[in-house]
């Protein structure tokens, strides 16, 4: 289970990094698509794959990985593993909320980007915590 915890933590971090790459692809694609026409886009513009990948990753893939990490954390016996996984789930929930709220209040997009970095760091930290040995049992052993 510890290996599963490590893999899920790394997958969360990689997925967050991919989120950044996909939204950059979407934004630069938008800039390219509107380069010759300085007009506002109408509803017919569908963007490129970057927007879609960012949406699917952020609303489905990353949350599912975070929830899976939390479930596995209860069985992996990683020092403070449940704590780190719960923090990751909380950061993912905040990330999704900030993503949706940023459409109404664009300034929150700054927090959305910053939170992604915090989430990435926490996933790396959780992976590193899984590499540490579990605390030894203390106290007298009784044999029945």
| pLDDT tens digits along 109-131 | 999 999 999 999 999 999 998 88
Determine contact, residues 6/127, Cβ cutoff 8 Å.
yes
What pLDDT does 30 receive?
79
The verdict on pTM exceeding 0.85 is no
Give the dihedral of Cα atoms 115, 116, 118, 119; nearest 10 deg: 120
Q: Give the Cα separation of 26 and 9 in Å (integer).
A: 26
Q: Where are the domains of the chain?
A: 2-33+47-130
**Structure-model confidence comparison of residues 101 and 44, the more confident one:** 101
What pLDDT does 63 receive?
96
142 has a pLDDT exceeding 60:
yes
The pLDDT tens digits for 70-100 are: 999 999 988 899 999 999 999 999 999 999 9
């Amino acid at each position: 289970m510890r290996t599963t915890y490590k893999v899920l933590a790394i997958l969360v971090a990689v997925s967050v990094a991919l989120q950044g790459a996909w939204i950059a692809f979407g934004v630069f694609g938008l800039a390219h698509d509107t380069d010759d026409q300085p007009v506002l886009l109408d509803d017919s513009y569908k963007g490129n794959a970057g927007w879609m990948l960012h949406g699917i990753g952020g609303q489905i893939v990353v949350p599912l990985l975070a929830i899976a990490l939390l479930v596995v954390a209860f069985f992996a016996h990683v020092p403070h593993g449940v704590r780190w996984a719960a923090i990751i789930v909380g950061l993912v929930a905040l990330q999704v909320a900030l993503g949706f709220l940023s459409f109404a209040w664009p300034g929150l997009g700054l927090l959305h980007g910053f939170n992604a970095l915090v989430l990435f760091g926490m996933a790396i930290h959780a992976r590193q915590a899984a590499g540490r040995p579990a605390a030894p049992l203390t106290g007298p052993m009784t044999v029945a």
